[in-house]
């Protein structure tokens, strides 16, 4: 665990190192700022020492110090200098933080593009998104806070110590000995409240789960009239939550008063000791010399403000350290993503197929998502140019698996898949995918205009070509009716389009490019049968002369196929055309006949 | 926010005592500079050690009293805040439960869940902070000023100038930066949106070789965000330096004025120190206040959203017209010229729907996506109210039934198969109407009750074609279903939801496209079992598959919210063009004949 933390820190530093000059500048500025901030109370103290009593105020410098006039001028200069360096330091820190996280985010996103689909399918989108967004954000907060507060905090502590020592040793000792008490108090409370917070977040989690489930399915709850029962369960958790949050909030909120109490004690101690030393100022007894010599009233006031300043960073630093730890934890989650094994590299000398003729062969293909669970074993298939392959079977039978393999979203475990006689493993993924046109069951639209969405396959397509493709997919008429026509902005979760319309757009996308091989996964499931009928013709035209794989429920599509693959539980259990399969009187025949059972 | 204050009313005592004790603590804090001034002016000048120790003791005493007060204040604030949040959560939860489908559609599930969880948490910590700190900071700011006045009026005038200036700067910077932060948030949302989109569309993006363009687009958005963040950062980084300048310049002026007044014998050295101390207290408190305001603004925004939900009232009025009796006629269910439109939608979702169904009949509803099939069946359990016309069950308008009683008559299986975390038994029990319910099939008590219930459940599972796989599961009826039914397959989930609807032996069973994940064979077996289960049960089957509904007693063909035809399969095949189209797109002509 510790090792992990260290290596995460190292990686973070590696990112920061691109901005090391700004970092150096920031540290320098921090040192200057702190020195100036600490110098100011000294000037104040000196000024106060100039003010002794009626008629005894030194404006021009006839006593030991410089006069009040000079001091005041100096103070104003110090104030403005401090402000400028402080601002510059903050700007530097901003610069470093935001550029570092920009780099991290960019790298994470670029990583997504080359991650194997296995990783993406195996993790919820929310998880990956929260790594790139929420974790990076949290990381930025921690980093920024670390830069601004940790640096200045440490420098302030050291600087204050130095300045205090230069004024009086014994008072400094008093402060140094007493201050860590507040840290102990804070730590003590934190460890005691840890369990309470754990209980609170557990209870809260329990409640959120219930809310998520019940409100998420409110319609079902109402349909079954379960509102009262659900509310009872909710109230039971709610009551428990109230009790444990009260404890957690109350006990943790003790930290502030308690540390403040310690600070006030330090303050009182400095006041008493300082005052005693000031009284003894005139005489130089042995005890006084032992305590570090006398102080003036001005120095006392300066020490008092130091005592305040010295304790503050201690309180802050404990907060910063938890924040930093949190930030490191977030960083390690991001790095986990960034360092995830990418998909297998492209071949060094990729084979290039000049022209896909549409022929395909699968030889002894074996594949499984998890090693222990064999899915496809020794699968052989020859598809000639222009043939139509239908994949049939109950949901979850692994129809999409086959598509995953053909498109090389996943790689086969053994055996090989050849397209136009070339093993697809020897080709660049992009070259292979160029040969396919794909319409998936889940329609996906990119945020952008309709035109951009259709022209996805060929960015250089002309307006006329886009419209023609839309017409072929029977999408033109509804696009025309949209407020901005082809310039209407659509998005994946935008509800301006119906599911069916979205699917038509996805079809138009393929219509535009018309690659030699087609993959249609339930392509028309969301389109009502009448519209579907209309696009069937377009489809038929599109499929002419092209090799196509179709995952379909509809019998009419299935029956016309040259090869029907019947899948069940991930395996291809039957293979042949409609007549052959009916003659086999197996699973397919049963499936087919059951449609007509009364 | 005001609307939510009622939830504090049970905690009046706490919400008053909390701030009160906090103010007490603050007052003690204000005395500290005075004590120091006394130490300097009396103790040091007179060389009185005893006095110094006495005043030191006073400082300690002030610290102890301050600690006691603030601990008390923390306790009351925490108690009020958690109590407030608890009762607010309760009310909001039960309020959301009372909302009708119309409001739920408008709000959206995700929004409701956020309201219930993170929004309430934000408000809770807002209330806690306000009770503890909101009065304290202004109190110290003004208290320090007043204390300064008690020392010296002329010197105090510096405070009168400084405080407003400081407030203007602090709040001015905040006012300008809050909208800027909102812009940053929007930028972050866009980056998030892009990331999410990229993940959901990963197959399409890779299939079209768009990885590089996507990365480019992301880089652009990301760069914009970074620039915005740095700009806002530079701006809000002014806050500290500027306040530092104001307060410290004021201090210099204070010392100078003080020096002049001391020279004239009006003030003492100690008093000047006290004045300087008051000035630095003000700085600390103003910065705290600024941070506090950010948190409170957030809490206010959340509170506003919560009140928005609380103000929403159910659009279904429940005034059970007891006077109307159920009439025994052949027409068990009647739709009379029903028009319906979703709230906010322009066009009607259903237009002039008019049909009757006899008790025990099976009705098939078929039509394209968006033709209004689901909407139609949702009017029966009164998930929505009709816009015009009426829906009658047993001769009585659905609006005249008590909602609970009406829904107890109906078993509905929705398109989305929803199961809840718990055992199979617990899930099925949802379907069972309890004694006080209308149909009351389950009564009696004790051991026998349990076995009765088991038998009932197995029967339902058998009808739903789920018996076989539940039997195979470990524990049978006590098999634990995970949240969302994740440990069951899609088809299994669907069959479980059917069993849940069947187990209540409803008068009306509605299957809304609920066999979509089932293969043809199971679908057919299911339909057969349901038909055999009960003579009296009226069944509605909504489907896109002609095969699922072709043997129904009555088929309604919906097209664009209107009835395009009704009758039996044979009649429709002969007369209804829409039906023919649907049918022949799924079966070729000869098969149609073969089937019948």
Domain that holds residue B565: 331-595
The domain total for chain B is 2
Q: Check if B347 contacts A (Cβ < 8 Å).
A: no
Determine the pLDDT at residue B76. Answer: 92
Determine the pLDDT at residue B206. Answer: 85
pLDDT band at A1 (very low <50, low <70, confident <90, very high): very low
A216 contacts B113? CB cut-off 8 A? yes
B594 contacts A54? CB cut-off 8 A? no
Distance CA B558, CA B28 (A): 78
Instruction: Please indicate, yes or no, whether residues B288 and B385 belong to a single structural domain of this protein.
Output: no
pLDDT band at B85 (very low <50, low <70, confident <90, very high): very high
The Cα of A445 is separated from the nearest Cα of chain B by a number of Å equal to 8
The Cα of A2 is separated from the nearest Cα of chain B by a number of Å equal to 31
The Cα of A512 is separated from the nearest Cα of chain B by a number of Å equal to 12
Rounded mean pLDDT, B276-302? 80
Q: Which two tokens stand for residue A48?
A: 């106060």
The tens digit of pLDDT for each residue in A24-41 reads 999 899 889 988 988 888
Distance CA A595, CA B2 (A): 61
Q: Is A575 helix (H, G, I), strand (E, B) or coil?
A: strand
Instruction: Please indicate, yes or no, whether residues B398 and B278 belong to a single structural domain of this protein.
Output: no
Q: Report which of A7, A98, A108, A86 is spatially closest to residue A40, judged by C-alpha positions.
A: A86
Final residue before a domain boundary, out of B277, B310, B343: B310
Instruction: Please indicate, yes or no, whether residues B171 and B241 belong to a single structural domain of this protein.
Output: yes
Q: Check if B74 contacts A (Cβ < 8 Å).
A: yes
Which residues on chain B are in Cβ contact (under 8 Å) with A212?
Answer: 113, 483
B240 contacts A86? CB cut-off 8 A? yes
Distance CA A336, CA A342 (A): 12
A interface test, pick of B58, B75, B140, B204 with most A CB neighbours within 10 Å: B204
Q: Any idea what the CATH number is for the domain that residue B404 is in?
A: 3.40.50.300
In a domain, B322, yes or no: no
Task: Convert A88-112 to b/e letters by CB count within 10 Å (16 or more is b).
Answer: bbbbbbbbbbbbbbbbbbbebbbbb
Determine the pLDDT at residue A502. Answer: 80
Instruction: Please indicate, yes or no, whether residues B351 and B304 belong to a single structural domain of this protein.
Output: no
Find the largest Cα–Cα distance for chain B.
120
The beta-carbon neighbor of A492 closest among B200, B255, B500 is: B200
B586 contacts A83? CB cut-off 8 A? no
Determine the pLDDT at residue B65. Answer: 92
In a domain, B317, yes or no: no
Q: Check if A537 contacts B (Cβ < 8 Å).
A: no
The tens digit of pLDDT for each residue in B549-571 reads 888 899 999 887 888 889 999 99
Kindly tell me the number of DSSP H helices and DSSP E strands found in chain A. 24, 12
The tens digit of pLDDT for each residue in B379-400 reads 998 888 888 899 999 888 888 8
B66 contacts A257? CB cut-off 8 A? yes
- DSSP letters spanning B80-126: HHHHHHHHHHHHHHHHHHH--HHHHHHH-HHHHHHIIIIIHHHHHHH
A47 contacts B259? CB cut-off 8 A? yes
The Cα of B388 is separated from the nearest Cα of chain A by a number of Å equal to 23
Residue A285 CB-density burial (10 A; 0-12 exposed, 13-18 middle, 19+ buried) = exposed
Alpha helices of A123-179 — where are they, by DSSP H? 125-130, 136-145, 152-167, 169-178
A interface test, pick of B82, B191, B247, B546 with most A CB neighbours within 10 Å: B82
The Cα of B558 is separated from the nearest Cα of chain A by a number of Å equal to 12
B201 contacts A444? CB cut-off 8 A? yes
In a domain, B248, yes or no: yes
Scanning B106-125 for CB atoms below 8 A from A yields 109, 112-113, 116-117, 121, 124
The tens digit of pLDDT for each residue in A536-593 reads 766 777 788 889 888 876 666 777 888 998 887 767 888 888 888 888 888 888 777 6
Q: Check if A70 contacts B (Cβ < 8 Å).
A: no
Instruction: Please indicate, yes or no, whether residues B33 and B80 belong to a single structural domain of this protein.
Output: yes
pLDDT band at A130 (very low <50, low <70, confident <90, very high): confident
B48 contacts A215? CB cut-off 8 A? no
Instruction: Please indicate, yes or no, whether residues B365 and B415 belong to a single structural domain of this protein.
Output: yes
In Å, how far from its chain's centre is CA A26? 27
Final residue before a domain boundary, out of B246, B279, B310: B310
pTM over 0.80: no
Which residues on chain B are in Cβ contact (under 8 Å) with A296?
Answer: none
Which residues on chain A are in Cβ contact (under 8 Å) with B55?
Answer: 271-272, 275
- Mean pLDDT lowest for which of A482-496, B18-32, B405-419? A482-496
Scanning A346-375 for CB atoms below 8 A from B yields none
Q: Is B418 helix (H, G, I), strand (E, B) or coil?
A: coil
The Cα of B2 is separated from the nearest Cα of chain A by a number of Å equal to 22
Q: Which two tokens stand for residue A215?
A: 């409100």
Rounded mean pLDDT, B252-259? 90
B66 contacts A261? CB cut-off 8 A? yes
Chain pair A-B, CB pairs under 8 angstroms: 428
Instruction: Please indicate, yes or no, whether residues B173 and B73 belong to a single structural domain of this protein.
Output: yes
Residue A310 has pLDDT above 90, yes or no: no
Residue B570 CB-density burial (10 A; 0-12 exposed, 13-18 middle, 19+ buried) = exposed
Q: Which two tokens stand for residue B137?
A: 């900071």
Q: What is the 3-state secondary structure (H, E, C) of B562-595?
A: EEEEEECHHHHHHHCHHHHHHHHHHCCHHHHHHH
The beta-carbon neighbor of B259 closest among A51, A95, A434 is: A51
What value, to the nearest 5°, has the Cα angle with vertex B84 and ends B83 and B87? 85
B526 to chain A: closest CA residue: A598
Distance CA A332, CA A263 (A): 36
Instruction: Please indicate, yes or no, whether residues B515 and B367 belong to a single structural domain of this protein.
Output: yes
In a domain, B321, yes or no: no
A257 contacts B74? CB cut-off 8 A? yes
In a domain, B28, yes or no: yes
Q: Check if A223 contacts B (Cβ < 8 Å).
A: yes
B interface test, pick of A19, A33, A48 with most B CB neighbours within 10 Å: A48
Instruction: Please indicate, yes or no, whether residues B251 and B216 belong to a single structural domain of this protein.
Output: yes
The Cα of B406 is separated from the nearest Cα of chain A by a number of Å equal to 10
B256 contacts A57? CB cut-off 8 A? no
**For residue A12, what are the contacts with CB-CB under 8 A and spacing of at least 6?**
A100, A143, A328, A331
Q: DSSP letter at A496?
A: S
The Cα of A432 is separated from the nearest Cα of chain B by a number of Å equal to 9
In a domain, B203, yes or no: yes
B192 contacts A129? CB cut-off 8 A? yes
Instruction: Please indicate, yes or no, whether residues B410 and B353 belong to a single structural domain of this protein.
Output: yes
Final residue before a domain boundary, out of B254, B276, B310: B310
Q: Check if B469 contacts A (Cβ < 8 Å).
A: no
The beta-carbon neighbor of A555 closest among B94, B414, B587 is: B587
B251 contacts A526? CB cut-off 8 A? no
Instruction: Please indicate, yes or no, whether residues B368 and B286 belong to a single structural domain of this protein.
Output: no
B252 to chain A: closest CA residue: A72
Q: Any idea what the CATH number is for the domain that residue B240 is in?
A: 1.20.1560.10
- DSSP letters spanning A8-68: HHHHHHHHHGGGHHHHHHHHHHHHHHHHHHHHHHHHHHHHHHTB-STT-B-SS--SSS--H
A82 contacts B241? CB cut-off 8 A? yes
The tens digit of pLDDT for each residue in A171-197 reads 888 888 887 787 788 788 888 888 888
The tens digit of pLDDT for each residue in A321-342 reads 777 888 888 888 888 888 888 8
* Torsion-angle region of B20 (φ positive above 0: left; ψ -120 to 50: alpha; else: beta): alpha
pLDDT band at A293 (very low <50, low <70, confident <90, very high): low
In a domain, B22, yes or no: yes
Residue with the larger pLDDT of the pair B248 and B178: B248
Q: Report which of B283, B277, B276, B217 is spatially closest to residue B246, judged by C-alpha positions.
A: B283
Query: Can you tell me the ipTM of this complex?
Result: 0.79
Distance (Å) of CA A590 to CA A387, A563, A585: 25, 18, 7
In a domain, B323, yes or no: no
Q: Check if A77 contacts B (Cβ < 8 Å).
A: no
Rounded mean pLDDT, A60-73? 75
The tens digit of pLDDT for each residue in B441-493 reads 444 445 556 678 888 889 889 888 888 888 888 888 888 888 777 778 778 88
The tens digit of pLDDT for each residue in B339-354 reads 988 776 656 788 889 9
Residue B526 has pLDDT above 50, yes or no: yes
Instruction: Please indicate, yes or no, whether residues B126 and B264 belong to a single structural domain of this protein.
Output: yes
């Amino acid at each position: 665990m510790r090792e992990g933390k260290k290596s995460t820190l190292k990686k973070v530093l590696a990112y920061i190192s691109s901005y090391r000059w700004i970092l150096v500048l920031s540290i320098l500025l921090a040192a200057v700022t702190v020195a100036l901030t600490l110098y100011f109370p000294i000037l104040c103290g000196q000024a106060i020492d100039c003010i002794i009593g009626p008629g005894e105020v030194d404006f021009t410098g006839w006593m030991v110090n410089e006069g009040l006039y000079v001091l005041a001028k100096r103070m104003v200069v110090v104030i403005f200098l401090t402000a400028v360096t402080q601002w510059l330091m903050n700007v530097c820190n901003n610069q470093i933080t935001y550029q570092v996280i920009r780099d991290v985010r960019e790298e994470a996103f670029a990583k997504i593009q080359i991650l194997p689909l296995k990783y993406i399918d195996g993790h919820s989108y929310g998880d990956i998104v929260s790594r790139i967004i929420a974790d990076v954000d949290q990381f930025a907060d921690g980093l920024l806070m670390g830069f601004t507060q940790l640096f200045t905090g440490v420098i302030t502590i050291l600087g204050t110590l130095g300045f205090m020592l230069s004024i009086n040793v014994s008072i400094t000792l008093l402060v140094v000995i007493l201050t860590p008490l507040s840290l102990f108090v804070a730590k003590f409370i934190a460890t005691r409240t840890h369990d309470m917070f754990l209980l609170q977040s557990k209870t809260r989690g329990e409640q959120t789960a219930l809310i998520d489930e019940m409100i998420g399915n409110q319609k079902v709850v109402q349909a079954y009239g379960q509102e009262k029962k659900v509310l009872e369960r909710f109230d039971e958790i709610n009551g428990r939550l109230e009790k444990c949050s009260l404890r957690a909030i109350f006990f943790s909120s003790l930290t502030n008063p308690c540390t403040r109490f310690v600070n006030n004690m330090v303050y009182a101690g400095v006041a008493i000791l300082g005052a005693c030393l000031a009284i003894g100022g005139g005489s130089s007894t042995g005890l006084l010399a032992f305590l570090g010599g006398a102080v003036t009233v001005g120095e006392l006031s300066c020490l008092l403000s130091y005592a305040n300043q010295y304790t503050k960073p201690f309180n802050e630093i404990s907060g910063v350290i938890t924040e930093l730890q949190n930030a490191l934890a977030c960083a390690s989650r991001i790095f986990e993503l960034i360092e995830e094994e990418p998909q297998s590299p492209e071949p060094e000398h990729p084979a290039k197929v000049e022209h896909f003729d549409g022929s395909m062969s699968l030889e002894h293909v074996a594949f499984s998502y998890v090693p222990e669970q064999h899915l496809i074993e020794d699968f052989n298939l020859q598809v000639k140019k222009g043939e139509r392959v239908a994949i049939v079977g109950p949901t979850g039978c692994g129809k999409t698996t086959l598509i995953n393999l053909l498109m090389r979203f996943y790689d086969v475990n053994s055996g090989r898949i050849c397209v136009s006689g070339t093993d697809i493993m020897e080709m660049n993924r992009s070259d292979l995918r160029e040969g396919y046109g794909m319409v998936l069951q889940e329609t996906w639209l990119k945020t952008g205009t309709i035109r951009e969405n259709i022209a996805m396959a060929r960015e250089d397509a002309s307006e006329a070509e886009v419209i023609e493709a839309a017409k072929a997919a029977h999408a033109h008429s509804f696009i025309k009716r949209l407020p901005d026509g082809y310039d209407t902005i659509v998005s994946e979760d935008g509800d301006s389009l119906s599911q069916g319309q979205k699917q038509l757009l996805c079809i138009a996308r393929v219509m535009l490019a018309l690659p030699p091989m087609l993959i249609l996964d339930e392509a028309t499931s969301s389109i009502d049968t009448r519209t579907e009928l209309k696009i069937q013709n377009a489809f038929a035209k599109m499929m002419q002369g092209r090799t196509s794989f179709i995952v379909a429920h509809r019998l009419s599509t299935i029956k016309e196929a040259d090869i029907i693959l019947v899948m069940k539980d991930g395996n291809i259990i039957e293979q042949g055309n409609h007549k052959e399969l009916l003659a086999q009187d197996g699973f397919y025949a049963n499936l087919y006949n059951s449609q007509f059972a009364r | 926010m005001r609307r939510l204050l009622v939830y504090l009313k049970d905690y009046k005592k706490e919400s008053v005592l909390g701030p009160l004790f906090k103010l007490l603590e603050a007052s003690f804090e204000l005395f500290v500079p005075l004590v120091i001034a006394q130490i300097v002016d009396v103790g040091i000048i007179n060389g009185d050690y005893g006095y110094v120790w006495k005043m030191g003791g006073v400082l300690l005493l002030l610290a102890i009293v301050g600690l006691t007060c603030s601990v008390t204040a923390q306790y009351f604030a925490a108690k009020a805040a958690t109590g407030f949040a608890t009762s607010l959560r309760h009310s909001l939860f039960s309020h959301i439960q009372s909302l009708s489908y119309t409001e739920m559609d408008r709000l959206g599930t995700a929004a409701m869940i956020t309201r219930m969880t993170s929004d309430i948490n934000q408000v809770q910590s807002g209330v806690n902070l306000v009770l503890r700190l909101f009065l304290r900071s202004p109190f110290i700011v003004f208290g320090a000023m007043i204390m300064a006045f008690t020392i010296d009026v002329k010197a105090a005038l510096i405070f009168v100038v400084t405080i407003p200036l400081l407030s203007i700067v602090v709040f001015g910077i905040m006012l300008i930066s809050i909208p800027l932060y909102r812009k940053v948030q929007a930028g972050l949302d866009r980056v998030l949106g892009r990331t999410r989109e990229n993940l959901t569309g990963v197959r399409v993006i890779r299939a079209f070789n768009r990885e590089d363009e996507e990365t480019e687009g992301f880089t652009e958005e990301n760069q914009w965000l970074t620039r915005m963040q740095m700009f806002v950062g530079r701006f809000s980084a002014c806050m500290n330096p500027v306040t530092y300048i104001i307060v410290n310049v004021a201090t210099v002026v204070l010392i100078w004025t003080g020096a002049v007044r001391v020279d004239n014998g009006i003030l003492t050295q100690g008093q000047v120190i006290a004045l300087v101390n008051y000035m630095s207290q003000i700085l600390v408190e103003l910065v705290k206040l600024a941070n506090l305001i950010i948190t409170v603004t957030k809490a206010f925004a959340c509170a506003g959203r919560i009140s928005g939900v609380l103000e929403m009232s159910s659009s279904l009025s429940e005034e059970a017209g007891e006077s109307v009796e159920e009439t025994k006629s052949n027409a068990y269910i009647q739709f009379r010229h029903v028009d319906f439109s979703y709230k906010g939608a322009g066009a009607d979702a259903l237009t002039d729907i008019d049909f009757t169904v006899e008790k025990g009949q099976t009705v098939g509803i078929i039509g394209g996506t968006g033709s209004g099939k689901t909407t139609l069946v949702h009017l029966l359990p009164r998930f929505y109210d009709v816009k015009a016309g009426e829906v009658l069950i047993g001769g009585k308008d659905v609006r005249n039934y008590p909602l609970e009683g009406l829904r107890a008559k109906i078993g509905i299986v929705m398109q989305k198969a929803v199961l809840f975390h718990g055992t199979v038994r617990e899930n099925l029990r949802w379907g069972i109407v309890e004694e006080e319910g209308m149909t009351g099939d389950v009564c009696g008590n004790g051991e026998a009750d349990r076995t009765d219930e088991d038998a009932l459940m197995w029967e339902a599972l058998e009808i739903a074609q789920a018996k076989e796989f539940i039997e195979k599961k470990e524990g049978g009826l006590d098999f634990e279903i995970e949240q969302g039914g994740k440990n069951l397959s899609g088809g299994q989930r669907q069959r479980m939801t059917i069993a849940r609807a069947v187990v209540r032996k409803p008068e009306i069973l509605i299957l809304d496209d609920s066999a979509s994940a089932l293969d043809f064979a199971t679908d057919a077996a299911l339909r057969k079992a349901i038909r055999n289960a009960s003579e009296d049960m009226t069944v509605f089957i909504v489907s896109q598959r002609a095969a699922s509904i072709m043997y129904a007693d009555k088929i309604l063909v919906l097209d664009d919210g209107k009835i395009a035809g009704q009758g039996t399969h044979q009649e429709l095949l002969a007369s209804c063009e829409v039906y023919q189209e649907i049918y022949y797109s799924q079966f070729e002509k000869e098969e149609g004949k073969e089937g019948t």
